[in-house]
Amino acid sequence: MKKIVFLVLIDIVKNRVVVAYTLILAILSWGVFMLEDSSNKGLLTLLNVVLLVVPLMSLLFSTIYLYNSVEFIELLVSQPVKRKSIWLSLYGGLAISLTGAFLLAVGLPVFLFCEFNAAGILVITGCLITLIFTSIAFLSAISSRDKAKGIGIAIMLWLYFALLFDGLVLFLLFQFGEYPIEKPMVLLSILSPLDLSRILNLLQMDSSALMGYTGAIFKNYFGTAIGMVVAFMVLAAWTIIPLFISLKIFNKKDL
């Protein structure tokens, strides 16, 4: 399994797209901190970048990479290698390179410019978002043999998580504003890893005071140690479940 991870990593480095991704993220994060005089504002800007760009890159790059690796997979399947280790090695290679890029480009400046707690949460959720969307990419790539369809599914999923879900939440908020919907809102946030990450990050910043009553409710749930643990467990589940389902499908796939 180590050998295949190694082969995948070399291939990704040679491909250079992840290197470019690292550079762009680095320029963004250094730029944000150079331009904003308050590090807290910078962090907020960076949070929005992380919540849009990181999932898009993880999802699209991983999906396309998997479709490109069809021949590689086919070559390995006839060799004495477990199917499970082929699939998990591909995941490992992609996850290592993408989280490495994120840590290098965003992690470094964030820890330099911001206070430890807020920086820590941003870096951890950023890494988890990378892992989650790589895992979702594996599910979308295995769900169809048709490349255009698979990549289409990936883009739709990104649109849903990054844009549509927020719209739905806002819609519900306005429609049922008269009712006590704060608690259902907390439950609803579990359905989107990006919203959950945003809440976790905002609670660590001063701006959480601006969120009003709903913010207070969220603070009640996710501000506590148990709430944090639950939130991270939900994020871990978002990583493991799609990957596990895709592995089950891959194990039974005819090549």
Partner 1 sequence: MIALHNISKQFGKLEVLKHIELSFNQGECIAIVGPNGCGKTTMIKSILNMVIPDSGQILFNGIDIRNHYKYRMDIGYMPQIGRYPENMNIGQVIKTIKLLRGSNSKLDDELYIQFGIDQLKSKKMATLSGGTRQKVSAILAFMFNPKVLILDEPTAGLDPLSAELLKEKILKEKNNGKLVLISSHLLAELDDIVSEVVFMEDGNILFHKNTAIIKKETGEQTISKAITRILKKSI
Least spacing, CB of residue 104 vs partner 1, in Å = 25
- Distance (Å, whole) CA 20 – CA 23: 5
Identify the residue among 31, 41, 52, 82 touching partner 1 (CB under 8 A): 82
**Per-position DSSP letters for 63-125, written without gaps between them:** HHHHHHTHHHHHHHHTSS--HHHHHHHHHHHHHHHHHHHHIIIIIHHHHHHS-HHHHHHHHHH
Which secondary-structure segment (H or E) carries 47? helix 39-68
Q: Is 16 in the site for partner 1 (CB under 8 A)?
A: no
Q: Is 50 in the site for partner 1 (CB under 8 A)?
A: no
Identify the residue among 79, 174, 180, 213 touching partner 1 (CB under 8 A): 79
Q: Is 2 in the site for partner 1 (CB under 8 A)?
A: no
Question: Cβ closer to partner 1: 70 or 236?
Answer: 70
Output DSSP code: residue 143. Answer: T
- Distance (Å, whole) CA 24 – CA 37: 21
Q: Is 252 in the site for partner 1 (CB under 8 A)?
A: yes
Question: Cβ closer to partner 1: 15 or 207?
Answer: 15
Q: Is 70 in the site for partner 1 (CB under 8 A)?
A: yes
Stretch that binds partner 1, among 65-73, 115-123, 139-147, 230-238 (CB under 8 A): 65-73
Q: Is 81 in the site for partner 1 (CB under 8 A)?
A: yes
Q: Is the Cα torsion angle 50, 102, 236, 137 positive or negative in sign?
A: positive
Whether residue 94 contacts residue 65, with contact meaning beta carbons closer than 8 Å, is answered with yes
Q: Is 80 in the site for partner 1 (CB under 8 A)?
A: yes
Least spacing, CB of residue 12 vs partner 1, in Å = 12
For 179, list phi and psi in degrees, rounded to 5. -95, 160
> Nearest Cα to 62, choosing from 4, 127, 142?
142
Identify the residue among 30, 67, 72, 111 touching partner 1 (CB under 8 A): 72
Least spacing, CB of residue 4 vs partner 1, in Å = 7
> Nearest Cα to 238, choosing from 198, 195, 203, 192?
192
Q: Is 255 in the site for partner 1 (CB under 8 A)?
A: yes
Residues that bind partner 1 (CB under 8 A): 3-4, 7, 11, 14, 69-72, 74-83, 252-255
